[in-house]
Amino acid sequence: MALAATTIDKYLKQYAEPDITDLRLSRCYDQVLVIPAFDETWENISTVWNTLEDHFLCIIVVNSASHHPITEQLFQACLRSGKLLGQGRNWHHIQGKPDLLIFNRCTPDYFVPRKQGVGLARKIGADAALKLISLKNIATHQINITDADAQLPDQYFEHRLAPSEAALLHPYYHQTSADESPKYRQATLLYELKLAYYVRGLTHANSPYAFHSLGSTIVVNPLNYAQVRGFPKRSAAEDFYLLNKLRKTGQLRQLSSAAIKLSARPSTRVPIGTGQGILKLLDSTDALQSEAFYNPKIFDLLKTFLMVLETSWLQMPGLSKLDQRLFNYVQREVLETKIGHLRNRCNSPEVFRKAILQWFDGFRTLKLIHFLRDQDLPDVSAINLVQVPWLSGPEGVISRETTLLKNLGLLPATDIVS
């Protein structure tokens, strides 16, 4: 516990955002929830927690990079939602159901830098949660993070991190309203299939980085959060990069509880993500024919490559027998030399194996996948996934991917991929 306190104290002193410097609250809570908010209304954001009855504090970081009337109206609505309990440099503590801690990053003195966007907003909120945990204002030592367009299940706060776990990941699904067009619902299903397929492919390849990377589903261990120096200050993919770092410090556990409902609205608020992904599919003449999925052969090659990496303690074996595309990658990245340097720093096969899998992380995995895609393994359409054997679940269990393929009409309702 002393080491944890030292790590967290060091982070708060050296790496936390200045927004939280003067943060002090007069109340204590069981849990804390962090939400970045841009281009949202009070009516929407208040549905995030309306099924929750727990005693929790909701931290909302209202942010924009320039004058944005809807976001500024949200900030004012948050301030009007209850009695003011306290305030500081750019934060307001509001009594309500639940109590709110509102950070103003949406007015001229506090605009977020455009390139830092949602990453900075999440970091401010999580830094504030970490400080309140350190000050004993929050009883449960975990930082719950979601988005302003999510709807949380009533059991949301029931899950607890084990000491060895860096994060928990809630299940999710994207919901559409009854009045949406069939094309819109199809695009939503395809986008969700794309996310699930990628993680399933990594699982097939035995990658330790096979997890969903959605900022709206994350629960972070405060110690691990401090160890990796918080959220990257990026306008997109901040969730992917945070989880990539967290995985090197502990386990990430995928929960199998009630799912978080996420909005499937098309959006251009961030350069990548759900909104952009659905917009791209909506623009397709025939979304089912849209080549939006990595070639399944790539994940077979990735599986071979990871096996070679793990057994390269003595030497890089079987290079001459590697698929030519993997051999090209090894040559281009000068991997034999890099792995040799890593091997020299390890004193046992076990230490080396851990080091090699930390070095070849989720980001390097994605770079290899893109390299292989460019080596005559182009993207495929959803139709091409029907015969992929590893998309099915264990015998007698229908996988999520199979269900999505059925909902898209690509598999008969009675068929299970074998």
| Same domain flag for 43 and 164 | yes
Judge whether 323 lies within some domain: yes
Query: Which secondary structure element, helix H or strand E, spans residue 175, and what is its range?
Result: strand 172-175
Distance CA 234, CA 241 (A): 9
Q: Above pLDDT 70, what percent of the chain?
A: 93
Supply the pLDDT for residue 31.
98
| Same domain flag for 140 and 252 | yes
Count of structural domains within the chain: 2
Helical segments of 50-181, H only: 69-80, 117-134
Nearest to 345 by CA among 358, 355, 331: 355
Residue 169, both tokens:
């990941």
Judge whether 383 lies within some domain: no
| Same domain flag for 160 and 248 | yes
| Same domain flag for 43 and 163 | yes
Distance CA 357, CA 350 (A): 11
Coil, strand or helix at 246: helix
Residue written as tokens 């399944």? 296
Nearest to 75 by CA among 99, 107, 33: 107
Supply the pLDDT for residue 374.
96
Tell which of 334, 357, 373 closes a domain.
Answer: 373
| Same domain flag for 166 and 313 | no
Dihedral angle at the C-alpha atoms of 28, 29, 30, 33, nearest 10 degrees?
A: -140
Coil, strand or helix at 165: strand
Judge whether 401 lies within some domain: no
Supply the pLDDT for residue 318.
59
373-377's contacts with Cβ under 8 Å and 24+ in sequence apart are 373/294, 373/295, 373/298, 375/325, 375/328, 376/325, 377/295, 377/297, 377/298, 377/301, 377/325
Supply the pLDDT for residue 271.
45
Supply the pLDDT for residue 322.
85
pLDDT digits (tens, 9 = 90+) for 167-221: 999 999 999 877 788 898 999 999 999 999 999 999 999 999 999 999 999 999 9
Contact 381, 292 (CB under 8 A): yes
Supply the pLDDT for residue 126.
98
Distance CA 197, CA 209 (A): 14
| Same domain flag for 227 and 350 | no
Judge whether 254 lies within some domain: yes
| Same domain flag for 344 and 233 | no
| Same domain flag for 139 and 223 | yes
Supply the pLDDT for residue 192.
94
| Same domain flag for 16 and 108 | yes
| Same domain flag for 12 and 94 | yes
Instruction: Write down the pTM of the prediction.
Output: 0.93
| Same domain flag for 148 and 255 | yes
For the chain, list residues with pLDDT below 70: 1-3, 265-275, 314-320, 393-397, 414-418
Residue type for position 18: P
Exposed / middle / buried, residue 272 (Cβ in 10 Å: 0-12, 13-18, 19+): exposed
Contact 186, 97 (CB under 8 A): no
Q: Work out the angle at residue 295's Cα, subtended by the Cα atoms of residues 292 and 301, and round it to the nearest 5 degrees.
A: 150
List Cβ neighbours of 66 (8 Å cut-off, separation of 6 or more): 111, 114
Q: Give the CATH number of the domain where residue 86 resides.
A: 3.90.550.10
Supply the pLDDT for residue 395.
60
Distance CA 136, CA 306 (A): 43
Contact 385, 296 (CB under 8 A): yes
What is the span of the domain harbouring residue 158? 2-173+211-260
Contact 118, 232 (CB under 8 A): no
| Same domain flag for 160 and 307 | no
Residue 335, both tokens:
């991997």
Residue type for position 372: L
Contact 187, 288 (CB under 8 A): no
Judge whether 251 lies within some domain: yes
Judge whether 156 lies within some domain: yes
Judge whether 143 lies within some domain: yes
Beta partners for 53?
Answer: none
